[in-house]
Amino acid sequence: MQAPNVIGGVRLPDGGGASLRLARGASLSDFADKIGADAAALVQALFNLGEMVTATASVSEETLVLLGDEMNYKVEVVSPEDEDRELLESFDLQFGEDEGGEEALVQRPPVVTVMGHVDHGKTRLLDSIRKTNVGSGEAGGITQGIGAYQVKVTYEDEDRYVTFLDTPGHEAFTAMRARGAQSTDVAILVVAADDGVMPQTVEAINHAKAADVPIVVAVNKIDKEGAQPDKIRGQLTEYGLIPEEYGGDTMFVDISAKQGLHINDLLEAVLLTADNTLELMANPNMAAQGVAIEAHLDRGRGPVATVIVQRGTLRIGDSIVVGDAHGRVRRMVDEFGNDVDEAGPSRPVQVQGLNSVSGAGDNLLVVEDDRVARQIADRRNARKRNALAAKSRKRISLEDLDAVLKETSTLNLILKGDNAGSVEALEEALLKIEVDDEVALNIIDRGVGAVTQTNVTLAAASDAIIIGFNVRSEGKATEEANAEGVEIRYYSVIYRVIEEIEQALRGMLKPIYEEREVGRAEIRALFKASAVGLIAGCMVESGKVRRNASVRLVRDGSVVTDKANIDSLRREKDDVTEVAAGYECGMVLSYPDIQVGDIIEVYEEVEVPRD
């Protein structure tokens, strides 16, 4: 039998070194369930270890591991990716694998992101590609900004396609990668021939390399005077991008995005690079899987998400789950604004029919039926909420500690605004408010768009107020805010926000107390009374003395104590509450060591207004 494991008097099970898997954001109750213990015991044990949490609150990874160590369990906190894989497996699903053998695979178009330094022509290039393709595409051209588009390239007498992500720059690319989504096959690095390699050029190279994505260099603006495409080739060699003509394996194409020069050569270079270095194959005959690259709430159509199908074929009527959103494909629109019934590998389409707005980088899966889609979405949603709550709770507890140490109080805010500019301006203005060192403003989250349920959850977990600037709440946010007691305030002018937050901060200031002398008395004689101890026979010299008042005892000009009280006060034989100057009285003080000649200063603390 194992020796009982005791923490601070609480008897706990002993894991005997066993391994235990817990999800990130798990609660003590989840922990207790796994080891067949009583959740209350874990709460108590953790309390004895110095942390106070409730049984159902998510706790941090460190806490789970620490508590596990105490009980001889090797706790392994499972990452969200692993957890998601396990979640899908429990539905017999797998993301990222093509079904069937090699014979099931067909070639798919490369998906391309355009990167490079600011002003080197990324946007112009994307425009230019869109336009050159009008001839081979629709009469109206690519009009719908769905976040991606596909162009046709005739290459070696074959019709081939290339898919472009419409958000240039490596930031979006890397943000998606951070969420586990590899959405790009080939990167086009745009470098202006009249400028050269700049900081973001280098950054883009590093990001592409980190993702193991091959680069095609577009040397742009060759129409400009002073353009030196060869210099660019030389510069990039230092970063490991060696042009083919120098014996390397990177393709360089001189272009003018403005004049539409050599755009076709660039597209061919992309295909050639893809063919030479990648095997872009996918099985088009399976339930579709893909990645969301953009999503928003459309006024008329509800939540819409642009997805790039990675394998399989997506069809109208399919039950889908995208991140924590689910639904059925009601309608699909391509970059021309045309309805499409199906979308195969590498095809971008805007999907309608989801119940909520998914995130960029979320994976899309077609599942058996609506019920499965909803179950997966719900589980992901719950997990997301837990993770968020655990994160914010941890941050709060740290700050609370800080606040206790510095005696500061913190006002937590979540900002939501109608656009990135206004949110930024608001945040800046709020952070400039100066009230006092004792109160601090802490903006724990900010974002563009309506106040969502997720915002409310975070606010509830962090005791925050939500500021909606030119936005309203959406979905069940208001309902949940009411249930959780979260305050949402709406504004449309910045100075109003500033004014009210400043007031709120002032309201949080602790009152300042000032001492005011009420009166003084001198001890003239001492009497012993068996029942009450030593009675001081006093003469009130100024002001008045009051029963229960705070007093300071001064002997020969120095303070003996300033934390004494007048416990009882008598005039002649009567108990009184006050004795005025010029009268004699008897007092019993809470401080026993008194002498004839001591001065009793009576004072009170009054709250003074702050300026």
Give the residue ranges of the annotated binding site for GTP: 116-123, 166-170, 220-223
Residue 510 to residues 104, 154, 431, 501, Cα–Cα distance (Å): 71, 74, 21, 16
Residues from 159 through 178 that contact ligand GDP (CB under 6 A): 168
Show Cβ contacts of residue 608 under 8 Å, excluding neighbours closer than 6 positions. 512, 513, 514
Half-sphere exposure of 127 (CA within 13 A, CB side): 9
From 209, 224, 395, 570, residue interacting with ligand GDP (rule: CB under 6 A): 224
Q: Which is nearer to ligand GDP, 191 or 538 (CB)?
A: 191
Rounded to the nearest whole angstrom, what is the least distance from the CB of residue 191 to ligand GDP in the complex?
Answer: 10
In the bound complex, which residue of the shown chain has the CB atom lying closest to ligand GDP?
Answer: 121
> 3-class DSSP state for residue 2?
coil
Q: Which is nearer to ligand GDP, 192 or 566 (CB)?
A: 192
Rounded to the nearest whole angstrom, what is the least distance from the CB of residue 335 to ligand GDP in the complex?
Answer: 19
How does DSSP classify residue 80? Answer: H
Distance separating alpha carbons of residues 224 and 217, to the nearest angstrom? 18
Inter-residue contact 450 to 418 (CB < 8 Å): no
Q: What is the DSSP string of 148-214?
A: EEEEEEEETTEEEEEEEESS-SHHHHHHHHHTT----SEEEEEEETTT---HHHHHHHHHHHHTT--
Residues from 360 through 399 that contact ligand GDP (CB under 6 A): none
Q: Which is nearer to ligand GDP, 205 or 396 (CB)?
A: 205
| Helical packing angle, 370-406 and 80-89, nearest 10° | 160
Rounded to the nearest whole angstrom, what is the least distance from the CB of residue 476 to ligand GDP in the complex?
Answer: 39
Inter-residue contact 187 to 218 (CB < 8 Å): no
Inter-residue contact 366 to 313 (CB < 8 Å): no
By residue count, the chain amounts to 611
Rounded to the nearest whole angstrom, what is the least distance from the CB of residue 259 to ligand GDP in the complex?
Answer: 6
Q: Which is nearer to ligand GDP, 123 or 478 (CB)?
A: 123
Q: Write each residue from 248 to 267 as x if it is in contact with ligand GDP (CB under 6 A), else as -, in one continuous string.
A: --------xxx---------
Q: Which is nearer to ligand GDP, 15 or 168 (CB)?
A: 168
Inter-residue contact 228 to 267 (CB < 8 Å): no
Rounded to the nearest whole angstrom, what is the least distance from the CB of residue 218 to ligand GDP in the complex?
Answer: 9
152 counts as binding ligand GDP under rule CB under 6 A: no
| Region near ligand GDP per CB under 6 A, out of 50-58, 216-224, 380-388, 460-468 | 216-224
Q: Which is nearer to ligand GDP, 121 or 243 (CB)?
A: 121
Known binding positions:
116-123, 166-170, 220-223
Inter-residue contact 401 to 219 (CB < 8 Å): no
| Region near ligand GDP per CB under 6 A, out of 30-38, 221-229, 307-315, 333-341 | 221-229
Rounded to the nearest whole angstrom, what is the least distance from the CB of residue 230 to ligand GDP in the complex?
Answer: 17
**Lookup: tokens for 189:** 């690095």
Rounded to the nearest whole angstrom, what is the least distance from the CB of residue 119 to ligand GDP in the complex?
Answer: 4
Sign of CA pseudo-dihedral 56, 60, 61, 63? negative
**C-alpha 351, offset from chain centre:** 26
Shortest CA distance to 415 belongs to which of 381, 388, 390, 452?
452
Rounded to the nearest whole angstrom, what is the least distance from the CB of residue 127 to ligand GDP in the complex?
Answer: 8
Rounded to the nearest whole angstrom, what is the least distance from the CB of residue 351 to ligand GDP in the complex?
Answer: 27
Q: Write each residue from 41 to 80 as x if it is in contact with ligand GDP (CB under 6 A), else as -, in one continuous string.
A: ----------------------------------------
Beta strand 281-282 with 111-116: parallel, antiparallel or unpaired? unpaired
- The one-letter code for the residue type at 41 is A
| Region near ligand GDP per CB under 6 A, out of 83-91, 220-228, 338-346, 474-482 | 220-228
Q: Which is nearer to ligand GDP, 179 or 233 (CB)?
A: 233
| Helical packing angle, 170-178 and 199-210, nearest 10° | 30
Distance separating alpha carbons of residues 257 and 223, to the nearest angstrom? 9
Rounded to the nearest whole angstrom, what is the least distance from the CB of residue 194 to ligand GDP in the complex?
Answer: 8
Q: Which is nearer to ligand GDP, 187 or 458 (CB)?
A: 187
Q: Token pair 């110095």 is at which residue? A: 50
Q: Which is nearer to ligand GDP, 15 or 121 (CB)?
A: 121
Distance separating alpha carbons of residues 6 and 386, to the nearest angstrom? 29
Rounded to the nearest whole angstrom, what is the least distance from the CB of residue 183 to ligand GDP in the complex?
Answer: 19
Q: Which is nearer to ligand GDP, 168 or 348 (CB)?
A: 168
**Lookup: tokens for 231:** 């210099």
Q: Which is nearer to ligand GDP, 235 or 478 (CB)?
A: 235
Residue 233 to residues 39, 121, 192, 384, 548, Cα–Cα distance (Å): 65, 17, 11, 46, 89
What is the size of the binding site for ligand GDP (CB under 6 A)?
A: 16
Residues from 99 through 138 that contact ligand GDP (CB under 6 A): 116, 118-124
Q: Which residues contribute to the site for ligand GDP (CB under 6 A)?
A: 116, 118-124, 168, 220-221, 223-224, 256-258
